[in-house]
């Protein structure tokens, strides 16, 4: 059962107290120079304030999400996603400020509103996906609607940057080998790196599907599975033993066509 992972939150909080994002792990598509370290133009106190906000948000999330299974987390994530995608009472939301006298928090909220109106830089630029997810999914009022939208926008930009890289790598892999195994491997690595509240926006069997493509190591130019092909034949044999071909069509048809960009498209309106 997929549940909220508090250990990942701890890592996000640790990195929030610095002015540098974590370095990406090595992968087949990450051969470009690492992006410059994320810096915060505000004072050190503002970074400390953000770390405290994230810590509080993590504590709330751990309590609120405790015991929720995949369906429960998915329902919550989709509801929040829809709320942030569709603006209502924009003038009221633009005037919203956090209930605090902390000048750094007030200033960041104003910057988020400016950003949402096409002015200035995203105040959450360079935060990790785990940190951004805490902001996006916090409904306590600690972060304004526009701050949560700005955090979602930064997560979206990071996702799009990754997709551009992985699609290019997928095209090269297919041209050179006829396979999409490296693509599936990279998609699985990326999926595992996402916060749980983003993972649940994908179908529940996403991870299993990526792993299946990796295991088959299918060559779309030769039409041969060069990896764990026996797993496919074992399934077909099981269908025959049961006197039914239910599922055989889906299993075999899936190997006839190379996967398109849907393998990296993810949830709608992501």
Tokens of 81: 């996603």
Q: How far apart are CA 173 and CA 44, in angstroms?
A: 44
- Cα dihedral 63, 144, 202, 30, rounded to 10, equals -110
For the chain, give every domain's residue range. Answer: 6-19+41-158, 161-265
How confident is the model over 11-50, as pLDDT tens digits?
555 555 443 333 344 444 444 444 444 444 444 555 688 9
Residue whose token pair is 């598509």: 29
How confident is the model over 152-183, as pLDDT tens digits?
999 999 999 999 999 999 999 999 999 999 99
* Mean pLDDT across the chain: 79
Tokens of 166: 């992985």
Sequence-separated (6 or more) residues with CB below 8 Å from residue 260: none
| H helix runs in 86-177, sequence order | 90-94, 103-116, 129-136, 145-177
Q: How far apart are CA 149 and CA 83, in angstroms?
A: 10
Sequence-separated (6 or more) residues with CB below 8 Å from residue 180: 170, 173, 174, 213, 218, 220, 258, 259, 263
Q: How far apart are CA 236 and CA 249, in angstroms?
A: 10
Burial (CB count within 10 angstroms: exposed 0-12, middle 13-18, buried 19+), residue 258 = middle
% of the chain residues with pLDDT over 90:
59
In tens digits, the chain (270 residues) has pLDDT values of 455 555 565 555 555 544 333 334 444 444 444 444 444 444 455 568 899 999 999 999 999 999 899 999 999 999 999 999 887 789 999 999 998 999 999 999 999 999 999 999 999 999 999 999 999 999 999 999 999 999 999 999 999 999 999 999 999 999 999 999 999 999 999 999 999 999 999 999 999 999 999 999 999 989 888 876 444 444 445 444 555 444 444 444 444 455 555 556 666 555
Q: How far is CA 107 from the centre of its chain?
A: 28
């Amino acid at each position: 059962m997929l549940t909220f992972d508090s250990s990942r939150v701890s890592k996000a909080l640790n990195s929030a107290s610095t002015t540098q994002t974590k370095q990406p792990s090595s992968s087949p598509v990450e051969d470009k120079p690492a992006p410059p370290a994320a810096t915060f133009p505000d004072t050190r106190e503002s970074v400390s304030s953000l770390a405290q906000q994230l810590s509080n948000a993590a504590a709330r999330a751990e309590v609120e999400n405790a015991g929720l299974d995949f369906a429960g987390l998915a329902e919550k994530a989709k509801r929040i996603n829809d709320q942030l995608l569709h603006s209502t009472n924009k003038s009221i939301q633009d005037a919203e400020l956090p209930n605090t006298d902390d000048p750094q928090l007030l200033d960041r909220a104003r910057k988020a509103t400016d950003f949402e109106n096409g002015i200035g830089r995203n105040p959450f630029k360079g935060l990790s996906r785990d940190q951004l997810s805490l902001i996006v999914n916090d409904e306590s009022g600690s972060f304004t609607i526009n701050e949560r939208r700005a955090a979602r926008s930064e997560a979206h930009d990071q996702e799009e940057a990754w997709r551009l890289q992985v699609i290019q790598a997928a095209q090269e892999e297919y041209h050179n080998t006829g396979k999409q195994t490296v693509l599936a491997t990279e998609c699985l690595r990326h999926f595992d790196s996402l916060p749980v509240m983003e993972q649940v926006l994908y179908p529940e069997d996403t991870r299993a599907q990526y792993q299946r493509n990796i295991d088959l190591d299918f060559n779309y130019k030769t039409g041969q599975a060069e990896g764990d092909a026996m797993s496919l034949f074992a399934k077909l044999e099981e269908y025959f033993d049961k006197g039914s071909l239910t599922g055989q069509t889906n299993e075999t048809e899936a190997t006839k066509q190379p996967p398109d960009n849907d393998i990296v498209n993810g949830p709608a309106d992501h």
